[in-house]
Amino acid sequence: MTTQPDNLSRQDTAAAWVFILPAIAGLLSFVLLPFALALLLSFTNLRLGSPLPTEFMGWTQYQRIFTDTAFLRALGNNTLFALTVVPLQTVLALLLATLVNRPLRGMIAFRSLFFMPVVFPLSLVSVVWILMFAPGPQGTINSLLEFVTLGAWQPRDFLHDTFWALPAITLTSIWQGVGFQMVILLAALQSIPAELYEAAKVDGASGRQQFLHITLPQLRNALIFVVLVTTILAFRLFDQVQIMTQGGPQHATTTVMYEAVNAAFAGQQVARGAAMTVVFFTIVLLITLLQRYVLKHEKAIE
């Protein structure tokens, strides 16, 4: 009597394995295997082009990077960048999604306009913003600020100023990436049943009350996804730094990824770069697990 269900169960299990094997192969090939290799190399003294034999060094590379002021500054810059970009970009994406979700003429063009920076390569975006941040009155940002302040603004060289360099990169990153989050939130907004808003209107709920008690709860999963992805991308900051500032001035914009690439290729210190990537991977993994734990805890309370 149980032969047929058992056969069906085995067939379903086999089919499931067939479908997930490509994903598992990709995870092993592009995530777990490179991480294991980086972890192994981080315990050695491997250098490119060095005539010395590769030796096991234990925790020496980790001790060195955590006493390196440039690497510690990179950790601080990454943290500050993430703490700034994640909330600002998420809020801005939500506002834009709400704005372009209105059934007005020309909204498709506006959606395309807001999403267009996401399609552009980061290298192109960085070059454009270098021109906009140009020092002196010929720079677009300086000219705009001087016009808004009626001449009170003194032109600055943003990308070579220790105070303004990181905010300049932050602004560039938000402008380039907010369209991606906007599209995700827009799709979530359009999936909210219209009956909920109609019922709320019948009950006399204001627009603010509808947003707080209908829109935000319905967007919970989409917002969680946006925050997770934005956090990971914020810690992966590299292209803008490489093109716009090269980590300067005085390590004001250096990041963990920039330091790792610079150590492994420019400095030919492969083991040192591997140790930095292991630290970077561990930080991102811990943040992701912490966010998942907090969200599960909140869901359990609800």
How many independent structural domains does the chain possess? 1
How confident is the model at residue 103, as a pLDDT? 75
| 3-state SS assignment for residue 54 | coil
Report yes or no: 185 and 221 within 8 Å, Cβ to Cβ.
Answer: no
| Cβ density class 48-65: b for 16+ within 10 Å, e for less | eeeeeeeeebeebbbeeb
Backbone angles phi, psi at 90, to 5 degrees: -65, -45
Question: Is this model's pTM higher than 0.75 or not?
Answer: yes
- What is the Cα–Cα distance from 219 to 139, expressed in whole angstroms? 39
Averages of pLDDT over runs of 10 residues in the chain (302 residues) are: 59 80 88 89 86 85 92 93 94 91 76 84 90 84 88 87 93 92 91 88 86 88 87 89 91 93 88 92 85 66 54
- Asked whether residue 18 is domain-assigned, the answer is no
Closest CA to 165 of 247, 76, 102, 264: 247
In this predicted structure, what is the pLDDT of residue 1? Answer: 47
Q: Domain of 261: which CATH number?
A: 1.10.3720.10
Number of neighbouring beta carbons within 10 Å of residue 279 = 18
Determine the pLDDT at residue 300. Answer: 54
Other Cβ atoms closer than 10 A to 113:
12
43 is a domain residue: no
DSSP label at 189? Answer: H
**pLDDT number for residue 240:** 92
> Domain span at residue 151?
61-301
In a domain, 207, yes or no: yes
| The two structure tokens encoding residue 109 | 């063009």
The number of residues in the chain equals: 302
Count Cβ atoms below 10 Å from residue 5 Cβ, excluding itself: 9
pLDDT in tens, 107-134: 778 778 888 888 888 888 999 999 999 8
Supply φ then ψ for residue 279, to 5 degrees: -60, -45
pLDDT, tens digit, 9 for 90 and up, residues 42-72? 999 888 877 778 888 889 999 999 999 999 9
**Helix, strand or coil for residue 33?**
helix
Does some domain include residue 35? Answer: no
